[in-house]
Amino acid sequence: MNKPPHRIEVKSPPGGLRLLSADDPAPLGIENESGSSPFVLVADHAGNRVPSTLGELGLSPRDRERHIAWDIGIGGLAVALARELDAACIAQTYSRLVIDCNRRLDAEDSIVQSSDGTRIPGNIGLTHEQIEARQREIYAPYHRGIAELLESRSQRSTALILLHSFTPVFSGIERPWHAGVLYNRDDRLARPLLKTLSELMTDFVIGDNQPYSAQDGTDVALIDHGEARGLPVVELEIRQDLILDASGQRQWARRLATALKSIGVAT
């Protein structure tokens, strides 16, 4: 993921707690910002970085590589798909365990104290000032970056593609899907994409609002950046074991690009 064209400066209140140090990366990466495609890609859980001031949240390196920390493989897929489509792409740098940028700030899972049975020591007993620092220095500039990119394209036909990955097994149950097409109220992209993917990929099981439903109102990007702006929007979930390496990421990028190009931007 390319470095953003400029570092987003976040001013702390006088005497306030500063989260990110000079050596920490910006909260978002931008790939192919001026791409010609009408599609804009967003990957909320692409990164698993932790600010140096948080001491790895008290987690082991192994835990920081698990799905609890990020959507495994989705960062590489996002870059590959951006190149296939010549599309702009924005991806989150920091782990969802620091703060989940696809949740409301007042949601219980905005900053989790445990995930999939694993305790997150660095998230327990946070003060209001510590929570506010994560909101101010990671969450706010990330969403501001998405909004600014979409606003810069206000005179262009634009559709939003939200990219995520999921685990093959959840709560001990093996999931049958290889990918999922998720949507809320706006299904302009979802319906033709479901049909096209099912026709192109007959050996794969494509979920209709599975393995998750986007109709529970929790997905901030889908609702605030897509539906609230009146943009066609769809969320894609790819099973993580299929996109673990660059080869799998390129294969899925080609499949998704073929499908997206064939349906175009629904209006």
Split at pLDDT 50, 70, 90, the class of 172 is confident
Q: Is 219 exposed, middle or buried (0-12, 13-18, 19+ CB in 10 A)?
A: buried
Is residue 49 included in any domain, yes or no?
yes
Split at pLDDT 50, 70, 90, the class of 2 is very low
Report the pLDDT averaged over residues 248-255: 98
pLDDT per residue as tens digits for the range 59-86? 999 999 999 999 999 999 999 999 999 9
Is residue 4 included in any domain, yes or no?
no
Question: What's the mean per-residue pLDDT of the chain?
Answer: 93
For the chain, give the percent of residues with pLDDT over 70: 93
**For residue 7, what pLDDT is reported?**
36
Is residue 2 included in any domain, yes or no?
no
* pTM value surpassing 0.75: yes
Split at pLDDT 50, 70, 90, the class of 215 is confident
Is residue 125 included in any domain, yes or no?
yes
Is residue 54 included in any domain, yes or no?
yes
Is residue 3 included in any domain, yes or no?
no
216: nearest Cα among 182, 242, 258, 266: 182
User: 233: how many CB neighbours lie within 10 A of its CB?
Assistant: 31
pLDDT per residue as tens digits for the range 131-146? 999 999 999 999 999 9
CA 3 to mean position of chain CA atoms: 17
Number of domains comprising the chain: 1
Using the predicted structure, report yes or no on whether residue 4 has a pLDDT greater than 70. no
Contact 145/251 with Cβ under 8 angstroms? no
Contact 90/150 with Cβ under 8 angstroms? no
Q: Tell me which residue range forms the domain holding 62.
A: 28-263
pLDDT per residue as tens digits for the range 5-52? 333 344 555 557 899 999 999 999 999 999 999 999 999 999 999 999
**For residue 236, what pLDDT is reported?**
98
Split at pLDDT 50, 70, 90, the class of 3 is very low
Is residue 19 included in any domain, yes or no?
no
Tell me the CATH number at 61.
3.40.630.40
- Of the chain, the end-to-end C-alpha distance in Å amounts to 30
Report the pLDDT averaged over residues 83-102: 98
pLDDT per residue as tens digits for the range 189-199? 999 999 999 99
Per the document, the length of the chain is 267
**For residue 13, what pLDDT is reported?**
55
pLDDT per residue as tens digits for the range 197-206? 999 999 999 9
Report the pLDDT averaged over residues 214-241: 95
